Amino acid sequence: MHTYLSVHPKDNVLVALQNLPKGTKIDFNGRSFELVMDIPAKHKFVTEDLPTGGHVTMYGVLVGKATQPIQTGEQVTTFNLKHDSDEYSVKKRKPQLDWHIPDVSKWENRTFMGYYRSDGQVGTANYWLVLPLVFCENRNILKLKDAFDKALGYAFPDIYLQQTQELVQLFKAKGSDGLGEYTPGYTSEKPTIQPLFPNLDGIKFLTHESGCGENNQDSALLAALFGAYANNANVAGITVLSLGCQKTQFEDLTQEIKNRNPQFDKPILFYEQQSYGTEFEMLSAAIKGTFQGLIEANKSERQPAPLSKLNIGLKCGGSDGFSGISANPVLGHLSDIVVALGGRTYLAEFPELCGVEQELIDRCVDEEKAQKFETLMRDYAAKAEAVGAGFDMNPSAGNIKDGLITDAIKSAGAAKKGGTAPIADVLNYTEVSKVPGLHLVCTPGNDVLATTGQAASGATITLFTTGLGTPTGNPICPMVKVATNTKLAQKMSDIIDFDCGPIIIGEKTIEQTAEDLLDYCIDLASGKFKTKAQLLGQDDFMPWKRGVSL
């Protein structure tokens, strides 16, 4: 088993694959040296003496500069290394459009069982969507959720309600002294009620804090986001609640839908509270209308679809020092396979592309796409700097603790999710995909903001790599949690779906693991099972607010 790894021939740091004690002998590039300190697993140590200002290179790119001399065999930390990255520009562009297309012959005749839409899109799931045009309707949305989930069999047993009830009974019987003897039980019990509509994967209810009392841009962006969600292939129909007087109006939503898809013909049911009068009248009408819509949506059945109809989001969160060498490259190879088959993949999180911009500019299929990417990156960075922030502030405490010392180190590893295929298109937030291939999607690195944006662009499955564990999901896009290491997969088994840990210990290759993950995705897309996030009801949704509230 290897105990350390060189990621790229140009690198002057190595990654510890396990805890390495001081004095460990390292053989690298024909010479030997000893570690001058203990190096924790996932962290990096330098292979040469570096002066103050010396460049640290990883993944073949500049990821930081030394803030003090660093000795050969010494760990890089936040105390001796600061973020730095290479300059980028379309003017420096050297198109890199020839790529090593993976052999996809074994996949060419494979299919998944999906839901066809009239415009040719194919969903991996069949959801009805209920959304509010303004935060004033959140309570009514939750009222509808409670009613439909319980009545139609989509609600799961509430084990925490059961625990609280048990504590109440124990307190009544024995007082506070009896609580010490209580041990909660765990059940993996599934719903006892069979769903009334077997071809409907669920009804998804969104809430948010937008739609009014904000600048016009954010209200318009909410309509754009909902328009994109309505267009997602996993959505069969939409129920819309409105107060009536808010900034984001129903006409704004329908126009955004039309802008994205002139062929759109899914049912949209609209209920405005100020027009109905009482809450009871509006919700009663919404329940009846939505129920009738569910009957129609249930008539859709899964049918065989080619893998070219897959739309896969590529995301990471709670990243660690293994993310860029196990799980993220696995997603990259899977992305290359899907793109080679004519499918679509979506790489988001623009702050986590910091330091690899030139490589991505070079991979854009034409200069127009490259210029759009550069413009979006520079505008985003400028807005961050205007409020005293910057992409260099992106790594979290957990990232740093587990080896991601600078944003450039984190970003260079995160970009590996995009594989090596040419970049077919660059999408701003809420823009939807129009062509097959790999897409760059402008979103924050924030997990929920990013996954919300990927679903808006068209993702019907999201692969989410994590080294520390992140309980995140999406209401309409099944999310697969991919662990970078086996320890995490075992420790947080209730949220992890797939383990890339065998790569770290040398039991499997990146390519083998990517193919296993694609098999998993095909079965998921066919409705054979649900992800852990789906089973836990993790329907996270968060619009990206860009301006000040008023």
- Whole-angstrom Cα distance, residue 465 to residue 414? 9
In the beta sheet, which residues pair with residue 131? 240
The rounded distance, in Å, linking the Cα atoms of 463 and 442 is: 17
* C-alpha 256 chain-centroid distance: 24
Percent with pLDDT over 90 in the chain: 85
DSSP-assigned letter for residue 194: P
Average pLDDT value for residue range 385-390: 86
d(CA 128, CA 144): 13
In the predicted structure, residue 328 carries a pLDDT above the cut 90: yes
pLDDT at residue 180 in the model: 83
User: Which regions of 67-187 does DSSP assign to beta strands (E)?
Assistant: 81-82, 111-116, 122-123, 127-132
Distance CA 312, CA 455 (A): 9
Distance CA 494, CA 483 (A): 12
Q: Are 546 and 454 in contact (CB under 8 A)?
A: no
User: H or E element: which one contains 423?
Assistant: strand 423-427
Confidence of residue 1 (pLDDT cuts 50, 70, 90): low
Question: Around Cβ 142, how many Cβ atoms within 10 Å?
Answer: 13
Instruction: Report the alpha-carbon angle 224-453-335, nearest 5.
Output: 135
**Residues 178-193: tens digit of each pLDDT:** 888 888 877 655 545 5
Q: Comparing 129-133, 317-321, 459-463, which segment has the lowest mean pLDDT? A: 317-321
Question: What is the pLDDT at residue 193?
Answer: 58
Nearest-angstrom CA–CA distance, 531 and 481: 8
Judged by average pLDDT, the poorest of 71-75, 93-97, 160-164 is 160-164
Q: Identify each DSSP E strand in 172-308 by its residue range.
A: 202-205, 235-242, 268-272, 303-306
In angstroms, rounded to a whole number, what is the distance separating the alpha carbons of residues 50 and 44?
14
Q: In this prediction, what percent of the chain has a pLDDT beyond 70?
A: 98
Measured CA angle at 86 (ends 81, 88), to 5 deg: 155
Cα distances (angstroms) measured from residue 415 to each of 64, 321, 346, 411, 462: 17, 14, 11, 6, 16
The amino acid at 85: S
Could you tell me how far CA 535 lies from the centroid of its own chain?
17
Six token digits for residue 314 = 């590529």
Strand partners, 26: 33
Q: What per-residue confidence (pLDDT) applies to 400?
A: 85
- CATH number of the 4-84 domain: 2.30.130.110
- Which DSSP category does 39 fall into? B
pLDDT of amino acid 397 = 87
* Residue range 421-437: mean pLDDT, rounded: 97
The residue-averaged pLDDT of 195-203 equals 92
- pLDDT of the residue at 101: 95
Q: What is the mean pLDDT of residues 335-349?
A: 98
Average pLDDT on 517-546 reads: 96
Between 175 and 44, the more confident residue is: 44
For the chain, the domains span: 4-84, 114-173+193-303, 316-512
Q: In what order do the strands lie in the sheet with 111-116?
A: 122-123, 111-116, 303-306
Which pLDDT value is given to residue 392?
77
Q: Which tokens in the block code for residue 366?
A: 């034409």
The alpha-helical segments, DSSP class H, found in 64-214 are 138-152, 159-174
Q: H or E segment at 230? A: helix 216-231
Q: For position 388, what pLDDT does the model report?
A: 87
344 and 421 in contact (C-beta within 8 Å)?
Answer: no
* 388 Cβ contact partners less than 8 Å away, ≥ 6 residues apart: none
Asked if 336 and 421 touch (Cβ cutoff 8 Å), the reply is yes
44 forms beta bridges with 15
Residue 113: per-residue pLDDT:
98
pLDDT band per the 50, 70, 90 thresholds, residue 378: very high
Q: Is the pLDDT of residue 157 over 80?
A: no
For the domain bounded by 114-173+193-303, which CATH number is listed?
3.40.50
Please state, in angstroms and rounded to a whole number, the distance separating the CA atoms of residues 379 and 158: 45
Supply the pLDDT for residue 329: 96
As a whole number of angstroms, the distance between CA 455 and CA 443 comes to 11
Residue corresponding to tokens 């991601």: 404
Up-side HSE of residue 143: CA atoms within 13 Å toward CB?
A: 14
- Tell me the pLDDT band of 398, cut-offs 50, 70 and 90: confident
Amino acid letter at 68?
Q
Query: pLDDT for 493-521, tens place per residue?
Result: 999 999 999 999 999 999 999 999 999 99
Burial (CB count within 10 angstroms: exposed 0-12, middle 13-18, buried 19+), residue 39: buried
Q: What is the mean pLDDT of residues 466-472?
A: 95
The reported pLDDT for the residue numbered 300 is 97
CA distance 460 to 61: 32
Element at 359 (helix H, strand E): helix 357-363
Mean of pLDDT values over 291-297: 97
